[in-house]
């Protein structure tokens, strides 16, 4: 009996040691969206938190395997490019800082490097852009629509052009409340609908011209709504 108990305690202690020997870190990344408008260039930013956790150390499982978890928290970028006209860069498809700044290194190895890279800025390439959306009516969540980053004029009219989307490794605090200040209905819709658009009036989601629009939820605008 004592032998079995000792064995169990030993296993628990070993698992605890393995967990404590794992890799975990957090970094802040700032996404800045800049748009050329007839009134000049307008910009807005959001600081997001990027977290990485690997429960097993490299001497047990090398690389990013072994129970790795990666998550992005914070809010989307909300840019008012004209009165009551907003462009949002969603959390959806937002790249992780290590993929932008250190594409040839595994996330498990970049923690110290990122901590020493505060202030570094990189202009995102089109394949790194987050999903951009706007609303036909800012008060109607179902009016959400995709914005083509190569053709803002199609959504906002002549004279509007994407100037740049940049990412900065930063120690600034995570931004909160900016998106909710613009979209006052965001939390309510998140609690009452499966997505902003809800179910299609006709046919399946997969049969719609842009099925991804039917998958956009409040969580794509903010991960902090229900905390």
User: pLDDT value at position 3?
Assistant: 58
pTM of the model: 0.84
In a domain, 119, yes or no: yes
Range of the domain at 83: 22-220
In a domain, 41, yes or no: yes
Specify the 3-state DSSP secondary structure of 214: helix
Q: Kindly report the length of the chain.
A: 227
User: pLDDT value at position 49?
Assistant: 95
Please count the helices (runs of H) and the strands (runs of E) in the chain. Answer: 6, 9
Contact status, residue 33 vs residue 49, Cβ threshold 8 Å? no
In a domain, 1, yes or no: no
Average pLDDT over residues 79-89: 96
User: pLDDT value at position 215?
Assistant: 94
Kindly tell me if the per-residue pLDDT of 180 is higher than 80.
Answer: yes
Q: Name residues whose C-beta falls within 8 Å of residue 189's C-beta, 6 or more positions apart in sequence.
A: 141, 196, 218
In a domain, 15, yes or no: no
Contact status, residue 199 vs residue 59, Cβ threshold 8 Å? no
Q: What is the pLDDT of residues 1-33, one digit of tens each?
A: 555 544 444 343 333 333 433 457 789 999 999
- How many structural domains are present in the chain? 1
Nearest Cα neighbor of 52 from 22, 32, 31, 75 is: 22
DSSP letter string, 98-143: HHHH-TTS-GGG-HHHHHT-TT-EEEPPGGGPPPEEEESSTT-GGG
Kindly tell me if the per-residue pLDDT of 57 is higher than 50.
Answer: no
In a domain, 13, yes or no: no
User: pLDDT value at position 17?
Assistant: 35
Q: Name residues whose C-beta falls within 8 Å of residue 77's C-beta, 6 or more positions apart in sequence.
A: 31, 32, 33, 44, 45, 46, 88, 89, 130
Average pLDDT over residues 32-39: 97
| Side-by-side strand order, sheet with 161-170 | 68-73, 40-54, 23-37, 161-170, 121-123
Average pLDDT over residues 174-203: 93
In a domain, 27, yes or no: yes
Confidence label for 59 from pLDDT (cuts 50, 70 and 90): very low
């Amino acid at each position: 009996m004592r032998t079995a108990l000792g064995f169990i305690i030993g296993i628990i202690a070993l698992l605890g040691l393995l967990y404590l020997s794992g890799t975990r870190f957090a970094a802040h990344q700032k996404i800045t969206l800049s748009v050329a408008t007839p009134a000049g260039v307008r910009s807005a930013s959001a600081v997001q938190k990027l977290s990485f956790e690997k429960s097993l150390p490299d001497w047990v499982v090398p690389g990013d395997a072994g129970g790795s978890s990666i998550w992005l928290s914070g809010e989307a970028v909300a840019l008012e490019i004209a009165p009551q006209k907003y462009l949002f860069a969603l959390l959806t498809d937002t790249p992780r800082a290590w993929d932008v700044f250190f594409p040839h290194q595994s996330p498990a190895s970049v923690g110290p490097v990122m901590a020493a890279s505060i202030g570094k800025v990189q202009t995102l390439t089109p394949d790194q852009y987050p999903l951009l959306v706007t609303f036909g009516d800012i008060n109607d969540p179902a009016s959400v629509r995709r914005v083509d980053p190569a053709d803002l004029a199609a959504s906002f009219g002549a004279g509007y052009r994407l100037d740049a989307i940049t990412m900065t490794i930063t120690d600034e605090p995570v931004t909160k409340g900016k998106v909710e200040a613009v979209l006052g209905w965001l939390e309510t819709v998140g609690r009452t609908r499966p997505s902003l658009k809800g179910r299609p009036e006709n046919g399946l989601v997969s049969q719609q011209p842009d099925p991804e629009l039917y998958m956009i939820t409040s969580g794509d605008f903010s991960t902090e709504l229900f905390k």
